[in-house]
Structure 1
Amino acid sequence: MEQQRRVETSDNSSSCSSSTTSNDDYRENTVKSSAMPSKFVLTYGEMAGASAVVLGFAVSLIGVYLSLPVSDYSFLKLPRTLEDLHVLRDNLERYTCDYTIQVLVGYCTVYIFMQTFMIPGTVFMSLLAGSLFGVFKGLALVVFAATAGASSCYFLSNLIGRPLILSLWPDKLVFFQNQVAKRETRLLNYMLFLRVTPTLPNAFINIASPLVNVPFHTFLLATSLGLLPVAFITVRAGMALGELQSLGDLYDMQSISILFFIGLASVIPTMISNTSEP
């Protein structure tokens, strides 16, 4: 009997040991599988949401296209050079007076689409606004479209942005998050400073702001006000589009100095607040 009990005890201990080993192996495999990147960065729900946004822009552009008279619209493409911009401006001038609403809706849709999905080339769209509509109307149009596009990017990033930005700009995201955390009481001034100066790219600010807990009302106000100086310089340059030889001609020393002092003025309250704290 005693030998039988020893055998049973030995069997139980070996069984427990085997079970423990099995559990350890299971945990180890679980950790490894969670650490490994998935094949698809986005979930099906997130992909569906992003696809719905793209579909909405596509429907808007198709509606504008169908509302225009039958003609050759081969010139309708996103400008990548000043030569492309000249061709687009020369052709759109014929439609701006008779089809103002269609041109405005099409312009805003394209601009907002580019801002939402971080497509480069919005500087050409700002030049186009100044050339077609003048300084004040062009400035209002650019600020509205740029702010709406940045807001659209903000909400889209809140849906699908985290895995994308972690794969593209992980270090910048950590830096931005630390800066925002240190400036919670003067966050509007800091966001204005970022918009006016080239400290961080505007595309990065749009996609990263919801991920580092920048409130939307602060983001919206800083965007609409912070884009005004740069937009004014670009729209004004669009009035003399024929004189531009390159994009480098947009910013002379006077324009750069103005932007620098505006950015400095926006961050001074934050600097004063930091120095006054014990």
Structure 2
Amino acid sequence: MAAPRNLMGDTGRSMRDEENGMEDEDKKSKSDRFPLNRWEFAAALGVFFVFSAGLICIYLTMPAAEYGKMKLPRTISDLRILKDHFATYADNHPAQFILGYCSTYIFMQTFMIPGTIFMSLLAGALFGVFRGLLLVVFNATAGASSCFFLSKLIGRPIVAWLWPERLRFFQGEIAKRRDKLLNYMLFLRVTPSLPNLFINLASPIVDIPFHIFFLATLVGLIPASYITVRAGRALGDLKSVKDLYDFKTLVVLFLIGFIIILPSFLKRKRIYE
């Protein structure tokens, strides 16, 4: 009588093992799948091609003599040469130049291409502090918003696929601080604590609401943009991008940031008391 019971027990265990094995294979097959469906992938490619086509159309309307002068600056010396080349063109064709400038800036911000700081310096050199500041803040906000939605479309599914547990942890931390998010985002934008490209990319992934992201970007970029645009007016005296943020400038930016985030700390202190 004992043998049948053992046989049935072994059979039950084997059936459970098979079921567990099938579940493991199913989980593995799901984890191996590419996180983007074809529509998300096609939308991301579509955004890239639309931006690229717009840039090509704008540049084709420029005089042929200007083609050889177009180059994204990587050093201050490159920027000085570009400024000298485009100063006359910007004066004679302001609307066309601004359209090309804005398209290039937003394209670089959307696809996280480094070098927008040189574009900000160029705005100050060509348009002055006030108009240059308006231009830079507009383009930086528009480009950051475009990057936000692109990251939400393709970045978030990829991160959820690669690091689901870490993503849930950070989303939970953000949810706990939802009433203070604007202060924290303003602090990050005003101070050079994190690169702006990283903030643009990470915000939709960890569930930062767009209205908070947009407002913090629009307001928080003003101090640093003012410093950069103003430095562009004295481009001849600037030796390196590192000269933009000396110790005094960093102290001022962090002081502004701490003033912004101070109400959150005071509120938390009152809660614990």
What TM-score, normalized to structure 2?
0.87
Alignment of 1:139 onto 2:133: yes
Equivalent residue runs for 1:12-51 within 5 Å: 22-35=18-31, 37-38=32-33, 40=34, 42-51=36-45
Equivalent residue runs for 1:6-85 within 5 Å: 22-35=18-31, 37-38=32-33, 40=34, 42-85=36-79
1:58, distance to aligned residue in structure 2 (A): 1.2
Whole-angstrom CA distance in 2 between matches of 1:182 and 1:151: 24
Q: Which amino acid aligns with 1:33?
A: S
CA deviations on 1:187-236 (whole Å, 9 max, x unpaired) are 21111001011222211211221222221111111101000000000000
When residues 60 and 200 of structure 1 are mapped into structure 2, their CA distance, relative to the original with a 3 A threshold, is: same
Deviates more, 1:209-218 or 1:134-143: 209-218
Alignment of 1:114 onto 2:108: yes
2:196 aligned residue: 202
1:5 aligned residue: none
1:3 aligned residue: none
1:32, distance to aligned residue in structure 2 (A): 2.7
When residues 140 and 173 of structure 1 are mapped into structure 2, their CA distance, relative to the original with a 3 A threshold, is: farther
Deviating above 3 A after TM superposition, structure 1's stretches of 4 or more consecutive aligned residues are 11-25, 163-179
CA deviations on 1:9-59 (whole Å, 9 max, x unpaired) are xx9999988765544432232223234x44x55332222111111111112
1:221 aligned residue: 215
When residues 209 and 202 of structure 1 are mapped into structure 2, their CA distance, relative to the original with a 3 A threshold, is: same
1:134, distance to aligned residue in structure 2 (A): 0.5
Q: Secondary structure at the match of 1:97?
A: helix
1:273 aligned residue: 267
CA deviations on 1:56-102 (whole Å, 9 max, x unpaired) are 11121122112222324122121111122122111111210121111
Whole-angstrom CA distance in 1 between matches of 2:57 and 2:252: 41
Whole-angstrom CA distance in 2 between matches of 1:275 and 1:203: 32
CA deviations on 1:233-267 (whole Å, 9 max, x unpaired) are 00000001111111111123332222111101110
Alignment of 1:88 onto 2:49: no
Asked if the contact 2:35/2:161 (under 8 Å) is kept, the reply is: no
What TM-score, normalized to structure 1?
0.86
Whole-angstrom CA distance in 2 between matches of 1:213 and 1:151: 14
Asked if the contact 2:106/2:142 (under 8 Å) is kept, the reply is: yes
1:118, distance to aligned residue in structure 2 (A): 1.2
Q: Secondary structure at the match of 2:77?
A: helix
2:248 aligned residue: 254
1:180, distance to aligned residue in structure 2 (A): 2.7
Deviates more, 1:13-22 or 1:251-260: 13-22
2:122 aligned residue: 128
Deviates more, 1:141-150 or 1:74-83: 74-83
Whole-angstrom CA distance in 2 between matches of 1:276 and 1:70: 65
Q: Secondary structure at the match of 2:217?
A: helix
Q: When the two structures are aligned, how many residues end up with a matched partner? A: 270
Asked if the contact 1:117/1:153 (under 8 Å) is kept, the reply is: yes
When residues 164 and 142 of structure 1 are mapped into structure 2, their CA distance, relative to the original with a 3 A threshold, is: farther
Whole-angstrom CA distance in 1 between matches of 2:158 and 2:211: 24
Percent identity among equivalent residues?
52
Q: Secondary structure at the match of 1:213?
A: coil
